[in-house]
Amino acid sequence: MKNIPGKILLFCCMTFAGTAVAQHGIRFDTLSFTSLKAKAAQENKLIFIDCYTSWCAPCKWMDNNVFTLPAVAEQYNKYFINARFDMEKGEGIALRKEYNVGSFPTYLFIDSKGKLVYRSGSRMSAEEFMAVGENANNPAKSMAAMQQQYDKGKRDMQFLLDYYDVLQDNDRGKAEQIGQEIVKKFPEQQLNSALGWKAVRALARTEKDRLGAYFMQHQDAFRAYARAGEIDTLATRMMTALLYGYIREGKNAEFAKRIDYFRSSPMEARRREGVLIESEYYLRNNKYADFNKLCNNALTGLLKDDADKLSFIARRAGFRGDGTAEVLPVCYAMAKRAVELQPEEYSTQSTLAQLCLVMKKKSEGLEAAQKAYALAGTTKIEGIVKKLIGQLEGL
C-alpha cells in the first residue's frame, strides 16, 4: 500500500487549500463489498469502511464536522476506497458479524482480500481522524506487526504508546495490560516532554494514580506540548472521575470539598459538566429539593442551550421509579427544552416520550414517540419505540 506523507501538522493550511472535489467531503462508494474489494485490488488501496447506524449521534457528528472537511477528504479520497454501511441494514448486517463491530461509529480498514488491517472508532477531531488514516496505511502500525515487535522484546516508550493506541480499538484487555506497563515504567525524568504528555493524555485517570498525580501538579508544564484545550479537558475528565467515584462510594464529605472545582470554575463548559455531577449526587442521596433547585436554575441558565445534557439529566432522573415523583416536573421541562433545541434527534424525542408515559401525558407522548420512531429508522430500536407507543396508546 502507498504510505501517507506526514502532513498532519499542516492540517490548518490544508483545510483551506483543499481541492474543489475535496470540499464536498469524503467520497463514499455505493458498491457491494465484493465490488469494493475488486476496486481496491485494481487501485492498490485499502478499503475504508465507516460502520454506522441511523440512530448513532457520534456518527452524525462525524458526518457533519469531520468527513466534510477538505483536508480530511483530500487524504481519504486519495489513499482509500471509501464506503459506508449501516450495520443494521442490508450488507451491513453481515459485515458487522464478520468484523465483530460492537460500537458505533467503527472505522475498518480492509485489504482487497477482505483482511482487516486496522480499526478505530468513536467521535474524534479531524486531526485525530487523519492520524488514524495515516496509521492504517503504515504497515509497521498494523496490530500483527506491533505484536511481533512486542514479542521480540521491544519496549521503548514511543513504541509502547503506539502499540497501546492500536490495541485500544482491537483488544481492550491487552491494551489495559500495556497501559499498566507504561504507567509503571515510564521514566519520571521524561514525563515533562512531548512523549510524557502523550502518556499522560492517554493513561492518566485520577489524581490518585501515578500519571494523574504528576499531571495535576504540573499542568502548566505540559502546555508546551498540548493542543489548545487539551490540558483543561484532561483536568475536567480526571476530576469528573474522582467525584463520581466519591458518589459511588458514599464519600459525601470528600464530594462536598471538591465540587467547588466545577461550581466556581471560570470555564462555562466545566460548570456545565458540574451540573451533571451535582445532579447525580442529589439523586443518589435522595435530595430531591436540591436536585429541583439545581436543575431549574440550569434550565434557564447554564444548560438552557445544551440539549444533550438536558436530555441526559431528564432521562437519568425521570425513569428512576418510586420515590422520585417530585423531580418529574423539572425533568419534563428539561426534556421539552431539549426537543425544542434538537427536534430531529432520536434521543431527545424518545426521552420526552418516556417521561410523558410516566406522567400520563398521552397525546404529547404519542407525538414524541412517533417522531422518535421515524428518526430511529429500520433498526432494532424500532422494537423499543413500538413498545413505547403501545404503552402510551394504552393510557
List the grid coordinates of 332. Answer: 419534563
Which residues are CB-contacts of 40 (< 8 A; sequence separation ≥ 6)?
A: 46, 47, 81, 110, 111, 112
- How close are the terminal C-alpha atoms of the chain, in Å? 61
- What is the CA angle 35-37-41, rounded to 5? 115
| C-alpha to C-alpha distance for 143 and 126, rounded to whole angstroms | 23
Task: Judge if pTM exceeds 0.85.
Answer: no
List of domains in the chain:
8-141 (3.40.30.10)
Q: What pLDDT does residue 128 have?
A: 87
Q: What pLDDT does residue 17 have?
A: 41
The amino acid at 117: V
User: ω into residue 70 within 30 of 0, thus cis?
Assistant: no
Mean pLDDT of all residues in the chain?
90
Contact 169, 119 (CB under 8 A): yes
Average pLDDT of span 25-38: 96
The pLDDT tens digits of the residues spanning 252-270 come to: 999 999 999 999 999 999 9
Confidence of residue 377 (pLDDT cuts 50, 70, 90): low
- Number of Cβ within 10 Å of residue 322's Cβ equals 5
The pLDDT tens digits of the residues spanning 323-351 come to: 578 999 999 999 999 999 999 998 899 99
Give 321 or 20, the one with higher predicted confidence: 321
User: Per-residue pLDDT for 8 more than 90?
Assistant: no
DSSP 49: E
> HEC string of 67-99?
CCCHHHHHHHHHHEEEEEEECCCHHHHHHHHHC
